[in-house]
Amino acid sequence: MTQPAPLPQPRPRKAVAFCCDDRYRPFALFAASQIAALHPDRDFDICLCDATAPVIPHTLRHLGLRPVALEPGTTFAGFALDQRRSESAYHRLLLPRRLGNDYDRILYLDADVFIQDGDFSRLLDVPLSNPVAAVRDNPQWRTPARMPQEFRTAGLPNAPYFNSGVLLIDVPLWQDQGVEEQAIAHGSGCQGRLRRHDQTLLNIVLHRNWTELSPVWNWQYSKAARLHEAVVGANIVHFIGKEKPWNAPQHALPARFAVAMACFLREHFPDLRIERNMSHMPVDNRIMVAMLLRHLMNGRRMTRYLSRFPTRYCVLPASTAQRPEPAAEPGRDLQRGAL
């Protein structure tokens, strides 16, 4: 007796999404492969998005990635750009509209990230009462009352300010509140003057209307925070600034990032090589001393910040995200299991 063909599996209602152009696509695919390796039986899609449908190398077809054409047209004509950013920096604003029929939750990730750990399915399911959940921008980790220049320029009161490199988007809330429309309208009226591009737009439009995630989901890898990361063990390391594993001079970043990335590139993008950044030679003592001093100076403030998140999947509602929590017992929260 012939067995009936299995019914097609329904598409999961949640996804991880990258938006990038050709320059950053190899690095986005590297991060996507890391997520896929962590979740061999995942219940979410991984999407790779660009203006037109991106080509995924045949050697990565087994990962089951979904290419998506966002088709922005002239939506972002005249928006601020710089030497490191193309129009794709704004494409994340289009994700809920383009993918809203398929997903209720989207986790957007920048391409310049390194995935170390974490249950991404569990993160995608955390309760949200705001359109977006994100991690504070790095300067506010140590000085939560620091006034962002964008708020000052826009005439807004001081408030928490997030980094847009990792965004957990609740699609219905985003659409109901017209986040995309507000952001595009504000960007169109700025005549190319956007201090931090999409991040500026989203922080103005979502002023005091976002949920705070633990920094383990967007550990912004600066000289003032990288040693703390070695203790905490971030799920996602985000290479903010100009220095990335594929272009940083020797010793600017730990070699382990470039080593892992080079192995991936040799197999899937053999013409793209980064071996010059893989030296394990000792770092200049002056660099280490300066870094240690910065960590010692910021230790108490970092402890206070990290202690606000009792678990890695804890979220702080907007009402509590607006003010710093009381200081915790020094050192207690920096243990690897505390987040």
User: Which residue bears the tokens 């200081």?
Assistant: 327
Quick check: is 111 in a domain? Answer: yes
26 contacts 265 by C-beta, under 8 angstroms: yes
Quick check: is 6 in a domain? Answer: no
Q: How many angstroms separate the CA atoms of 176 and 119, rounded?
A: 28
- Looking at residue 192, its pLDDT comes to 55
Quick check: is 3 in a domain? Answer: no
Same domain, 56 and 122: yes
- Please list, in sequence order, all residues whose beta carbon lies within 8 angstroms of the beta carbon of residue 77, skipping any fewer than 6 positions away: none
Quick check: is 7 in a domain? Answer: no
In 4-98, the DSSP E strands lie at 14-19, 45-50, 66-69
89 contacts 6 by C-beta, under 8 angstroms: no
Q: Which residues pair with 163 in a beta bridge?
A: 135
What is the domain count for the chain?
2
DSSP H helices, the chain, are 25-38, 95-99, 120-124, 139-142, 149-154, 171-176, 179-189, 198-205, 226-232, 255-268, 285-306, 318-321
Q: End-to-end CA distance of the chain: give it in Å, rounded.
A: 55
Quick check: is 59 in a domain? Answer: yes
Quick check: is 136 in a domain? Answer: yes
Give the number of residues written for the chain: 339
Quick check: is 1 in a domain? Answer: no
Please give the structure tokens belonging to residue 6: 């299995």
Same domain, 35 and 154: yes
Count of Cβ atoms closer than 10 Å to residue 124 Cβ: 21
Same domain, 222 and 206: no
Tell me the residue type at 279: S
User: Which residue bears the tokens 């970043």?
Assistant: 253
pLDDT less than 70: residues of the chain: 1-9, 80, 82-84, 191-195, 275-297, 299, 318-339
Same domain, 231 and 273: yes
Q: Given 214, 245, 267, which residue is the final one in a domain?
A: 214
- Looking at residue 269, its pLDDT comes to 96
Same domain, 258 and 295: yes
Q: Given 214, 249, 268, which residue is the final one in a domain?
A: 214
Same domain, 210 and 223: no
Q: 169 is in which domain, residue-wise?
A: 14-214
Closest of 92, 16, 26 to residue 47, by C-alpha: 16
Same domain, 323 and 189: no
Q: How many angstroms separate the CA atoms of 320 and 314, rounded?
A: 12
Crossing angle of helices 25-38 and 255-268, rounded to 10° = 100
The CATH number of the domain where 209 resides is what? 3.90.550.10
Q: Which helix (H) or strand (E) covers residue 168, if one does?
A: strand 162-170
Same domain, 198 and 121: yes
Query: Given the DSSP bridges, would you call strands 211-213 and 162-170 parallel, antiparallel or unpaired?
Result: unpaired
- Looking at residue 188, its pLDDT comes to 78
Angle (CA) 114 119 120, round 5°: 70
Same domain, 185 and 249: no
Q: Given 198, 214, 230, which residue is the final one in a domain?
A: 214
Same domain, 275 and 172: no
Q: How many angstroms separate the CA atoms of 86 and 101, rounded?
A: 27
Same domain, 168 and 222: no
- Looking at residue 276, its pLDDT comes to 55
CA atoms within 13 A of residue 172's CA, in its CB half-sphere = 5
Same domain, 260 and 178: no
Quick check: is 261 in a domain? Answer: yes
CA torsion 61-48-166-209 (nearest 10°) is -140
